[in-house]
Structure 1
Amino acid sequence: MADRRKRSPAMRYIKRNGLYILIVCVLLLVVGAVIAVVGQVKRLSPAKQEESSQTAAETAQQPEREAPASDTSGETASEQEPVDESAYVPPFSGRTALLADSGLVITFDDAALSWEESEDLISLTDAAGAQKTRLDVQKLQADVSLFKQSELERICIGVVQAYYYLAPETKDFTVTDAGWNGDCFTATVNAPAYDTEAPVSARVALWKANGKSWCVSAICPEDEDGAAVFAAFSSVEPLGGKHLTEETP
């Protein structure tokens, strides 16, 4: 008791509130440190902004690099070589044309045949108005190289049957001269007179060209002239390749 009475009021206050005083001192130190850091950041910020502006200006002044010339497919001009069609020698005098993207080329008498083309079919029809004499080119979904000969013959018959409104039965067709000639399976298909239809002669070629399968078919009834159609059929070949027949004009 004597010691307490000897202490001054200030000492007694510090004794009772020493912990709180310590906490306040620590907080003051923290606040002072934060203020010092903020001031330093503000002094540095203008220098950094000036440096960033200078870098952006230099970047804007740099010329853009020219991209290599490219075609519509995205390949550079030096990577794609054009097809040299000037080296192609047609088997006879007439109009020569590429058949879609098949890599096959055909020559035909454009005075005797009319060219018609849609998205899925290329046709040559008789310019004089013959109703059923025609040549058609279309892409096949199946790989013809995977089929047996008997299956390919049935495919050829099916191609000819498609020309009829009411077709003869499969057994009524005859297939001759069927076989592979390089990358092409060819066959001659004949059908007898049926209903009101005259007998029909047809030639069918199943090509494996440009990585895809193609069907070229020429058909002519007995009562129509099919010379121009069959000549065009025989001219079909890969660009720079070999004709279906060895006949020369």
Structure 2
Amino acid sequence: MRECWAASLGNCRGGISREHVVSQCLFSSGSITVKGLDWCAGEAKTIGIQGLTRNILCEGHNSDLSPLDAVALQTFDSFDSAIKLRDFRQQYSPKINWTLRTFDIDGKLLERWFLKTLINITLDKTWIIGTGERELGKPSIELIEIAFGLRGFSPNEGLLVSAHVGYTGDLRQGLSFTPLTEGGNLVAGRFSFACLQFLLNLSPHHLRFDGTSQLLHHLRWIYFAMTDSRKRSKQSHRIRFSW
């Protein structure tokens, strides 16, 4: 029988459960577009979400990680609400003094969800997950403990966002994943989620990113601005990440 990838924590409960590699709650359409895996490395492919499951966690550890699925859905819903609010307010006179709204997201839980998802996707693949030397396709005890909230990432590691001032992205359903490797090591994962590009860095080194965007570590605020009657930029609403 396949082993739970969190077995090194020593508290497995129940049998091996069938885990969705990516949280099912994010895909109301019932399908998901995937790229970056060994069977779709060169192109994106759309499959039914039920087809993207693996027997990789025991029932107990699967249940322990369920709050991470909830925060991923809440993050998507926050971006959805923020973009709809932007589009709504842009229809009206710039003289209106809108109430400043704030949408809150737990950054630590979201970071752990990205790590859980990266492990689910790359488990038993041909890379060492993270830096150093160990068995291929297996997360280290350190990464497992981070996924379960028992420790945090080291400085420079963890969740980054690719962004720049003036970016006006639109919401996208689903998720795409691209592995970033150095030699035989998977050192980061790039995710397209909601309306942003997220990178999960497993290396103590700074990541470099092509293009004009900056990589922001542990992003705290995203501001949505409107232009008032005097052509001045004024905050309409914002998304706040707590760390």
> Relative to total residues, which structure has the larger strand share, 1 or 2?
2
- TM-score normalized by the length of structure 2: 0.20
Could you say which structure has the larger radius of gyration? Answer: 1
Q: Which has the higher contact order (CA 8 A, sep 6+)?
A: 2
